[in-house]
Chain A
């Protein structure tokens, strides 16, 4: 049976909420009966997206992050959105190893990891400020059930 479902949560852009976001989205995706690897891939990509909000979006105050997870059939679509400063040059930011804060031991691999762990990602500045990262992953239900058997 085709599942159509969604959930949305809003939380403060502070680092302790990275773990909350991972658990939250992983729990929601369980209805598709994913493999452990598929869940861990999603958790890793979500963690990167939320970390971007925590570290970069709000240099002067702690703003909010809204995470929405939609399931349509076998497709999981996760949107992580903030209302912060956005990114001036998105294509530059998506280059592997690019970081604006090399002195802070940052790897600059956040977007590269999201791309690698998901089927597709989209990064755009919101019209009203902030950044929106959309992550897509297809969970092939029947195969997952066979693999988990």
Chain B
């Protein structure tokens, strides 16, 4: 898993590249927490266009990050999920807390 990020117009853009499963979950959690901890932004957009695979472990990772950012009143949005990721997000109600944007 590779994570790229940049801040533009008070928005933190995060691109997840690779596979998000149990094997990559710990690295993803630590890296995202690190990226989310600093910088001048008031919202986060997570781009999944380069995410080649995700299972339900990814839901746990994303909800964990949501909880941390909720305390700081920073909303997180999701864009470009795969069909499989979209199905998991809809099943779990993730979009209720991390809305999808186009």
The interface of chain A, by Cβ under 8 A from chain B, is 15-16, 18-19, 22, 37, 40-41, 43-44, 47-48, 51, 54-55, 96-97, 104-107, 109-110, 112-113, 116-117
Contacts and interface: CB of A to CB of B under 8 A. Distances in A.
A117 B56 contact: no
Contacts of B87: 116-117
Q: Nearest 10 CB-CB pairs, A to B?
A: A15-B23, A107-B59, A105-B64, A109-B56, A105-B60, A47-B55, A107-B60, A15-B22, A51-B22, A107-B56
B69 to A, nearest CB: 14
Nearest to A20: B23
Interface residues of B, number: 21
Given A51-B22, A109-B88, A112-B56, 9 more contacts: A44-B55, A51-B57, A104-B60, A106-B57, A107-B60, A110-B55, A113-B56, A113-B88, A116-B91
B50 interface: no
Contacts of A55: 22
B7 interface: no
Nearest to B24: A15
